[in-house]
Structure 1
Amino acid sequence: MSYPENVLAKDEQVVLHRHPHWKRLIGPVLVLIVATAAASFVAAYVNSLGWERTAKTVVSLVILAIWLVLIGWLTLWPFFTWWTTHFVITDRRVMFRHGLLTRTGIDIPLARINSVEFRHGLLDRMLRTGTLIIESASQDPLDFYDIPRVEQVHALLYHEVFDTLGSEESPS
């Protein structure tokens, strides 16, 4: 999914657009599998009992309702939150937008960035993800978690910042 062009200024170009790393979806997928298996097992057990058809139908509907609530809350909601979280680098700024019903965002002009760091532990290194830390002139450092290929994003952002500043120290 590309980032909406209507939030960009005239002649502004997207350099990088990322959603958080897919590792954020491991828990919701496991919940989906376990909840579906449990609901299927309980529904099969209820159907094997010698109850009246109406009782079986009511219990099956209750199982379905519980399954739908669990899946909606613990699987679909995290997925849509992941899908609507955007980390975008343009040739002018860094943008971060997140939220499904209530959207929040922050824009950091490249010219205001003082330093760019990244951090990732052993698991993050294996999954090629990490935390990007951006320190701007006017704020405390901002941490952006679960950025895929954080080292490449760090290098790209570093180059963009120096290109924007037109510094003689530019690595390019």
Structure 2
Amino acid sequence: MGYPDKVLAGDEQVVLHRHPHWKRLFWPVTVLILGSAAASFGCAVVGNATWDPTAKRVVFWVIGAIWLVLIGWLTLWPFLNWLTTHFVITDRRVMFRHGVLSRSGIDIPLARINSVEFRHRLIDRILRTGTLIVESASQDPLEFYDIPRVEQVHALLYHEVFDTLGSEESPS
């Protein structure tokens, strides 16, 4: 049983589960490609040099170490952050979890949500992403960035909130 199923109540159902938009991975992938190309070029230059074999080996190790640090820090870490960030809407609450080594998150019961809005710039509209803003009864508005298909998520969340409020307000 994977996330988010393992944190749900017995009869709670997931309505939507999303990671942030892939645009968060654009620069890490660019760094991966350019860093690998630069390391390959550096290794090719060193391989064709007329240096002592021990000096070549040391330079290869230095290039490899720099490449590993650069890729780990600027590519692997953002990917892991993206992978471990979850935006989930269930039939009872909105959940947001993020973090690789230390995790944090927030749960907002649907019955406590006062308003839901979205915002996206031109590039966000082109990429079909944006910021979802949820205002609950007890806190300042929470902004969730880079939500894929933010307009659909906004409509879905609004309908879930309306259905929750409607079922609580209607006489049984």
Residue 3 of structure 1: CA displacement?
2.8
2: distance between equivalents of 1:4 and 1:141? 24
Letter in 2 for 1:51: W
How far is 1:54 from its partner? 1.1
Q: Give the drift of 1:81.
A: 0.4
Residue 60 of structure 1 aligns with an amino acid whose one-letter code is F
Counterpart residue number, 1:84? 84
- Deviations, residues 46-98 of structure 1 (Å, cap 9, x unaligned): 11110011110110011000000000000000001000000000000000000
Aligned to 1:4: 4
Distance 1:114 1:3 in 2: 27
List aligned pairs for 1:41-60, cutoff 5 A: 41-60=41-60
- Quote the Cα distance in structure 1 between the aligned partners of 2:86 and 2:60: 39
SS at match of 1:131: strand
* Alignment-derived partner of residue 112 in structure 1: 112
TM alignment of 1:5-154, pairs within 5 A: 5-154=5-154
Find the aligned partners of 1:108 and 1:45 in 2 and give their Cα distance: 56
> What root-mean-square deviation, in Å, do the aligned CA atoms of Structure 1 and Structure 2 show?
1.4
Give the match's secondary structure for 1:166: helix
Counterparts of 1:113 and 1:145, CA distance in 2: 18
Q: CA deviation at 1:8?
A: 0.6
CA contact (8 A) 1:2 1:17 kept: no
Give the distance between the partners of 2:67 and 2:119, measured in 1 at CA.
38
Structure 2 length as normaliser, TM-score? Answer: 0.95
1:4, 1:151 → 2: CA distance?
A: 22
Q: Could you list the runs of 4 or more consecutive aligned residues of structure 1 that deviate by over 4 angstroms after TM superposition?
A: none
Count of residues in Structure 1 that have an aligned counterpart in Structure 2? 168
Q: Secondary structure at the match of 2:17?
A: strand
Letter in 2 for 1:104: S
In the alignment, the residues of structure 2 paired with residue 2 and residue 73 of structure 1 have an alpha-carbon distance, to the nearest angstrom, of 27
Question: Runs of 5+ in structure 1 lacking a partner?
Answer: 168-172
The alignment-based identity, stated in percent, is: 80
Shift in Å, 1:2: 5.8
